[in-house]
Structure 1
Amino acid sequence: MQESRRERKKQQTRQLLMETAIRLFSEQGYEQTTVAQIAAAADVATKTFFNHFQSKDEVLFTANRERSALALEVIADRQPGESVADLLTRTYNAMLADYLAKDADGRERALMETYVQLVMSAPALQAKALHVAFDVQRDIAAALLAAYPDELDAVSAAAVVGATWGAALGASLTSMERGDPEEKFWAAMRRGIDIALHGLEANRPNAR
């Protein structure tokens, strides 16, 4: 029980640091914000910040890595007879369910929107985002290859992950730029995934 309380406190502090950092990045700019300022605004020691994050840019990409870890778990649990497309769809559903479970008060959505704005406006963050995305896609492709050793090779696994990831990202960013409500945002992402996995003809709006 004691360990459980300690872990909850750790997660609360981590979440507070993430929210504080993103708020300061948004208010005064990413480059202008220091780790010391983030720690002070969160009312913790600078050392505490570094107990959770290696650097200030890691604050923005932690959620990406955590959700990629969930994706790897789902892929490793491939069911007998499950196709690549079905497994990737199930992976998306699991990641969405995890996001919604953590977004009861809408804060995750607000943080995600701010994250996108920051990454789009800061070249250093764009470079970091590409690096993180490459690492995540590589890990997921490796997991997919391990799950389907008789159906995929390294190239085809990388291709299907890249196509699915790119389609989901492109569709979701377009939806966000249009100011779509959350339901349409997730529907757009799902449609992007469906197009990548099943083709455009099967996913035209008038075909639904």
Structure 2
Amino acid sequence: MPPSALRDRKRERTRRALLAAAAELFEQRGYEETTVADIAAAAEVGTRTFFNYFGSKEELLFPDPEERVRAAVAAVAARRPGEQPVEVVLRALRAVGDTPGEHLIDDLAARLALLRARISRTVPAVSGRAAHAQLVAQREIARHLHRAFPGELDEVGAAALVGGVVGAVSGALTVVFQEGNPADGERLQRRIDETTTRVLRPWLAGHR
């Protein structure tokens, strides 16, 4: 294996170790009670090494933002015959991580999505970053949704549908996170899936 490939593999292992350490500490101690130094120590690296990978603590909750948007666009492009626009929107939002669900609870990406959704509702710095990331993702999803359903949705209609679904699900999940026990991640995950399905039922019925 070339030295460059070995270096890339080592960097990816270190990066993933930092993400895994952060997820573990955020779940156990809480986001605000965890410091960058705590995360670096748990990942067995120095604080300077941490900042070679992430610019801040909140950035850990938003890894690979461009990749997340690409995943959402791919979800729209992969729509199945007969699939409704609202179903495509939900799948795209789950791909980007704005609506956690349909993931294994021990998967690192799923854990981070769950943490991001919960923490962004209580921590202003994370909330602002989440709002910006969500706006970027919504614009791209709406743009591609319009292309996928040109006969059903114009640009305004696509943007309205994406924004409506995001608002409805986000509002409902705020209540779920207030009621849920953060330590019981599997039960919270089920509640998220159930609530999302219930909230979207009228949308699905209206688009049949």
- Report the TM-score when normalising by structure 1: 0.69
Q: Is the 8 A contact 1:164 1:197 kept in 2?
A: no
Partner residue, 1:20: 21
How many Å separate the matches in 1 of 2:110 and 2:78? 28
Report which stretch shifted further, 60-69 or 162-171: 60-69
**d(CA) in 2 for partners of 1:116, 1:80:** 31
- Name the SS for the 2:40 alignment partner: helix
Q: How many residues of Structure 1 are paired with residues of Structure 2 in the alignment?
A: 197
- In terms of fraction of residues, the more helix-rich structure is 1
Q: In the alignment, which residue of structure 2 is the partner of 1:62?
A: 63
Structure 2 unaligned regions, length at least 5: 182-186
Q: Identical aligned pairs, as a percentage?
A: 36
Tell me if structure 2 keeps the 8 A contact 1:142–1:154.
yes
Does the 8 A contact of 2:146 with 2:153 survive in 1? yes
Q: Which residue of structure 1 aligns with residue 201 of structure 2?
A: 194
What is the CA RMSD across the aligned residues, in angstroms?
3.9
* Higher RCO (CA 8 Å, separation ≥ 6 residues): 2
CA contact (8 A) 2:77 2:148 kept: yes
CA shift, 1:149, in A, is: 2.9
Task: Say if 1:11 and 1:175 are closer, same or farther in 2 by CA, change over 3 A.
Answer: farther
> CA offsets per residue over residues 29-79 of structure 1, 9 Å max, x none?
549734x55333311244543454343322112277654432210212334
2:49 corresponds to 1:42 = no
Q: CA deviation at 1:5?
A: 8.1
- The answer to whether the 8 A contact 1:140-1:161 is kept is yes
The letter of the residue matching 2:45 is: V
